[in-house]
Structure 1
Amino acid sequence: MVLSKLKTVILSVSVTILAASLISFPRESFEASMRGLNMWWEIVFPSLLPFFIVSEMLIGFGVVKFIGVLLEPLMRPLFKVPGVGGFVWAMGMASGQPAGAKFTSRLRQEGQITQIEAERLVSFTNSSNPLFIFSAVAVGFFNNPKLGLLLAAAHYLGNICVGIFMRFYGKEAPNLSRENRKKFKFRNALSALHQTRLKDNRPIGKLLGDAVNSSIQTLLMIGGFIILFSVINKLLYQLHITAMLAKTIEFLLSSISFPDMLSIPFISGLFEITMGSQLISQVQDATLLQKVIITSFILAFSGFSIQAQVASILAQTDIRFKPFFIARILQGLFAALFALILWKPLYLRFNGHEQPSNAIPVFGDGSWANDLYHKMIEAGPLITIFSLIGYILILFTRLKKS
């Protein structure tokens, strides 16, 4: 009872401080809000929408169940999750965060995975997509395209290690374990595809409409979190709370011989990975290796902004958030370790020297990833606007019929 009252007081005071800060720093709040909005409608919305819609249709048509039966012999022994986890893993890696949580929750709602399996699966299927790592971080912030391979390798190897580690989490029902020992047959996969399609039994038009509605509703929620945490991150800096938190991080960094100047960018990265990565790239007192290690950690940790998005998605099911949060810390440590281990074989071996630590982070030319990133930014707003118009028309049509 006392803890419940204390929680109420803390939440109330925090929201009051946030409201007062918005009034005290209107200009800074507006700029941060616009930054979050631009990020959402230029990059996040157009990049995630196709994956969300296609995944919903694949689940409805039974293709995901078909893939699940095929991948069962791989995913079950390695990660102790059903074969459909392979679909979530691939789609989450291609589309970026928080797609893994969205797909995992959808499979849980369909009853294709258990609660424990869903908590294992969501822990290692949320990752930054390769385009963000190669173009935005490596090229955009560090002005060094060759860093992309190192950052991506550390990030995805950390994901795999988390997946293997989380296989020991929780216990499965004995009857489920016996069921999964059945001999694999391709005919079983085809049968599962057909039975899933018959069970869904929605016309193609309704299935497509439901996919668009569900996807855009999720993306609107994601956009709200991006804007909110962009503002919170800026207000924490204005209130000097970031500097206060950085004092604790300075002690930890000094214990591993890292410069204190990395503390504030690190705190910013804990809240929002894009801002954190950019600030880390601009620290001149740190070596490139030190900046890569810290960046690898915050990319894997995902930031409280993305974690809040995941928590909101998981709240629609019985999937608990705590295992996911612990997995983010583990992946951060794994990714930082892999960045250190792979520094020589993946970076110095092919470059022969370290880029100066005071290099000015600007967008470089001649990178395919950078070109693709800029094209997405140019076309992103149009895709977002037309998608929202389509969403409104679908809603209006359904409301008119009802």
Structure 2
Amino acid sequence: MKYKEHIVSLTFLIFFIFMLYYPDQTIDASLNGMKLFAEIIFPSLFPFFVLTAILPSISWVNQFAGFFGHLMRPVFNVSGQGALVFIAGSLSGFPIGAKMTADLLKNHKISIPDAQRLICYTNGASPMFLIGAVAGGLMNRPSLGIIMFLCHLCGNILIGIAAGRLIKGPSLKRNPAADQRVDYLSLFRESVTVSLKQLMSIGGLIVFFSVCIQLVKQLLTSIASDQYAEKIQLITSGILELSNGVDAAVRFSGAEAALIVLAMVSFSGLCIHMQVITFIHQLPISYKPYLLSRLFHMVLSPVIFLIYSLFIPLPESTLPAEDVMGQINSGINVYQFITVSVLLFCSMILLHLRYIQKSRY
């Protein structure tokens, strides 16, 4: 254990020394990370964080979960609440699956084995990221993004089936009471407060890893040749932070780029891993199964893509690749509009409920 602690502490010390040696690059990377968080991550995740905290308390949502329990138990060996996590995590992307799993476990709506199984396969890339930003923005091939997303999703489904058999433990048989009264106004305020705290932690991680990537790039350019520096930078960027690794991977051509991107997205980068850890570190959920599932998924989804391409050859594209952040930035106004609209809609509903409650008394 001490050997690992020495390695981690030495790594932090080295980064601290490089930060002192490259202060300008450190500040620029921090500003870029803060801009990424403020303009993209926060507007796109905040409404999902608030709503996913409220959804499990709605009675008809619990009835929906009870209905899907007949499918989730034989396939994934989890209760019906796992259907909400799987659907939301698959459509919303990182780290909604981990957040919902942690919230449901805290509220005693799933068992610990359920949570351990869910964390392995419900925290994946969203179709908006793979189809819109990566395939559409970077590769100029949105149709390829659909195939990549389906391969990514199929890999997670297979991992979920395997996790249901390998991770032992009982699943909750009961569903929350449908007639349980909920104070939605208090729940909404609590959801907003908790979501803000969680997003601040995620923002700090994004800024930190932005600095780490910049320092790694600076180190590589100073000690390695251009040929080897590009390859090492591709590997390190993919390991540390997803968007930078994907941006470097699409410089390859054809199916090779798709395979590398799928591997990176399936592993998801250490920045996403740290975000998942922030949700589960105070809960009886082990990080090791999640890490093993990501490593396995990193191999499985490219293999599924290869099998698909053997039966249905992919047409080559001659269009040039574009910058992923430029494509993502084009959707900032949409994210901001969604955020404001959802908050206004929720506020109007809660005020109406509050008015009805007061009129009864």
Do 1:146 and 1:347's aligned partners in 2 also have CA atoms closer than 8 Å?
Answer: no
Q: What SS does structure 2 have at the residue aligned with 1:342?
A: helix
The equivalent residue for 1:65 is 62
Letter of the aligned partner of 1:319 in structure 2?
A: I
| Aligned mate of 2:276, from 300, 310, 326 | 310
Shift of 1:133: 0.8
Q: What SS does structure 1 have at the residue aligned with 2:206?
A: helix
Letter of the aligned partner of 1:354 in structure 2?
A: E
**TM-score, normalisation: structure 2:** 0.85
- Structure 1 residues 262 and 64, CA gap change in structure 2 (3 angstroms): farther
Matching of residue 192 in structure 1 with residue 172 in structure 2: no
Letter of the aligned partner of 1:306 in structure 2?
A: I
- Structure 1 residues 24 and 95, CA gap change in structure 2 (3 angstroms): same
Letter of the aligned partner of 1:355 in structure 2?
A: S
Matching of residue 228 in structure 1 with residue 225 in structure 2: no
Do 2:44 and 2:339's aligned partners in 1 also have CA atoms closer than 8 Å?
Answer: no
The equivalent residue for 2:320 is 360
Shift of 1:232: 0.9
The equivalent residue for 1:267 is 236
CA–CA distance in structure 2, aligned partners of residues 153 and 130 of structure 1: 9
Do 1:82 and 1:117's aligned partners in 2 also have CA atoms closer than 8 Å?
Answer: yes
Shift of 1:151: 1.3
CA–CA distance in structure 1, aligned partners of residues 218 and 55 of structure 2: 46
Shift of 1:262: 4.9
CA–CA distance in structure 1, aligned partners of residues 309 and 230 of structure 2: 22
- Structure 1 residues 242 and 140, CA gap change in structure 2 (3 angstroms): farther
Shift of 1:45: 1.3
Give deviations 1:177-234, integer Å, cap 9, x for gaps: xx84xxxxxxx97x8322xx34xx5x32211100111111111111111111111122
| Aligned mate of 1:214, from 194, 211, 224 | 194
Pairs aligned (count): 341
Shift of 1:337: 0.5
Letter of the aligned partner of 1:240 in structure 2?
A: L
Q: What SS does structure 2 have at the residue aligned with 1:126?
A: coil
CA–CA distance in structure 1, aligned partners of residues 100 and 223 of structure 2: 37
* Alignment gaps of 5+ in structure 1: 181-187, 251-259, 365-369, 389-402
Matching of residue 377 in structure 1 with residue 337 in structure 2: no
CA–CA distance in structure 2, aligned partners of residues 54 and 213 of structure 1: 12
Shift of 1:326: 0.4
* Alignment gaps of 5+ in structure 2: 344-361
Do 1:45 and 1:380's aligned partners in 2 also have CA atoms closer than 8 Å?
Answer: no
Matching of residue 145 in structure 1 with residue 111 in structure 2: no
Q: What SS does structure 2 have at the residue aligned with 1:56?
A: helix
Give deviations 1:255-276, integer Å, cap 9, x for gaps: xxxxx96553133112111111
CA–CA distance in structure 2, aligned partners of residues 62 and 21 of structure 1: 53
Shift of 1:169: 2.2
Shift of 1:10: 2.6
Q: Larger deviation: 327-336 or 339-348?
A: 339-348
Give deviations 1:12-61, integer Å, cap 9, x for gaps: 32222121111111222222222222222222211111121112112233
Do 1:28 and 1:234's aligned partners in 2 also have CA atoms closer than 8 Å?
Answer: yes
Q: What SS does structure 2 have at the residue aligned with 1:354?
A: coil
Shift of 1:238: 1.9
**TM-score, normalisation: structure 1:** 0.77
Shift of 1:341: 1.5
The equivalent residue for 1:109 is 106
| Aligned mate of 2:307, from 323, 341, 349 | 341
Letter of the aligned partner of 1:265 in structure 2?
A: L
Shift of 1:332: 1.1
Map 1:381-392 → 2, pairs under 5 A:
none
Do 2:90 and 2:123's aligned partners in 1 also have CA atoms closer than 8 Å?
Answer: yes
- Structure 1 residues 32 and 380, CA gap change in structure 2 (3 angstroms): farther
Structure 1's consecutive aligned runs of 4 or more residues displaced over 6 angstroms after TM superposition are 241-244, 381-388
Matching of residue 95 in structure 1 with residue 107 in structure 2: no
Letter of the aligned partner of 1:342 in structure 2?
A: Y
Give deviations 1:336-389, integer Å, cap 9, x for gaps: 1012112255662xxxx3124xx531269xxxxx98x5553135568889999x
- Structure 1 residues 387 and 217, CA gap change in structure 2 (3 angstroms): farther
Give deviations 1:106-148, integer Å, cap 9, x for gaps: 1111112221211110110001111111121012221222221
Do 1:48 and 1:96's aligned partners in 2 also have CA atoms closer than 8 Å?
Answer: no
CA–CA distance in structure 2, aligned partners of residues 235 and 41 of structure 1: 22
CA–CA distance in structure 1, aligned partners of residues 72 and 190 of structure 2: 29
Matching of residue 44 in structure 1 with residue 41 in structure 2: yes
Matching of residue 288 in structure 1 with residue 254 in structure 2: yes
